[in-house]
Amino acid sequence: MTADTQYDDKALIALLREGDLSAFEIIYHRYLPALYSITYKRLQHREQTEDVLQEVFARIWTGRERLHIEDLTAYLHAAVRNETINYITRNKKVLTFYEPFEAIFLENDTPEGRLIARELLDLVYAYAATLPEKKRAVFLLHVRNKLSTREIADELGISVKTAQNQLRNALQGLKTHLAPMVAVIIASRF
């Protein structure tokens, strides 16, 4: 396949259904900028946006033989909207849990702020040590290296979905087990 302007959406869909990787790549490059912009406006986070888009395009590729798309633009926008809603629903509780702690870490320019930040970080690493090996690896790559689930999946040779599930489970456990201790640390400082 040559230039992407040579093919209209219907031709690309037909080629994609036949397993043509070049057609998939053309669709990806043709629509990614607009889809990225829409998704980023909703999530306001680069890695989350990339996760959502990666999931949408992965589903298109894996389900290519069953695709029955009349309007590719409308299909992609709906798929991104739905995946964004799913992502927010899955991660809403976890994300809101961290907001107050993020402020503490960002405002650690006082001795007391640095002490609280250090104690919280120690608790996070102590929690990580209690996790099963694979979940711990995913969790630490996210916390220490600030890797996205896509980058974690590549690093560990696992699927993105597995990385997402492992990280979500680890973060939910962190919330459940450490929230009371964190509250005590913060309350004891004020």
pLDDT value for 46: 85
Same domain, 77 and 122: no
Q: Which amino acid is at 133?
A: E
pLDDT value for 1: 46
Q: Calculate Rg over the CA atoms of the chain.
A: 21
Angle, helices 21-43/9-17, rounded to nearest 10 degrees: 110
Burial class (CB within 10 angstroms; exposed 0-12, middle 13-18, buried 19+) of 28 = middle
74 assigned to some structural domain? yes
181 assigned to some structural domain? yes
Same domain, 82 and 112: no
97 assigned to some structural domain? no
Same domain, 76 and 143: no
93 assigned to some structural domain? no
Same domain, 83 and 141: no
Q: 179: which residues sit within 8 A by CB, 6+ positions away?
A: 97
CATH code of the domain in which 69 resides: 1.10.1740.10
**Residue 81 corresponds to which tokens in the numbers above?**
């909207």
Same domain, 68 and 124: no
Contact 117, 90 (CB under 8 A): no
92 assigned to some structural domain? no
Q: Count Cβ neighbours within 10 Å for each residue of 97-129 and write b for 16 or more, e otherwise.
A: beeebeebeeebeeeeeeebbebbeebbeebbe
Same domain, 83 and 134: no
pLDDT value for 182: 60
Q: 9: which residues sit within 8 A by CB, 6+ positions away?
A: 27, 69, 71, 72, 73
pLDDT value for 99: 55
Number of domains in the chain: 2
Low-confidence ranges of the chain (pLDDT < 70): 1-5, 91-110, 112-113, 116, 178-190
Same domain, 74 and 125: no
pLDDT value for 96: 52
Same domain, 112 and 37: no
Place of tokens 């798929």: 79
Tens digit of each residue's pLDDT (9 = 90 or more) over 17-63 = 999 999 999 999 999 999 999 998 888 888 889 989 999 999 999 99
99 assigned to some structural domain? no
Same domain, 77 and 33: yes
179 assigned to some structural domain? yes
pTM assigned to the model: 0.50
pLDDT value for 127: 85
Same domain, 68 and 27: yes
Query: Where in the sequence is the domain holding 64, given as residue range(s)?
Result: 4-87
43 assigned to some structural domain? yes
CATH code of the domain in which 150 resides: 1.10.10.10
Same domain, 63 and 124: no
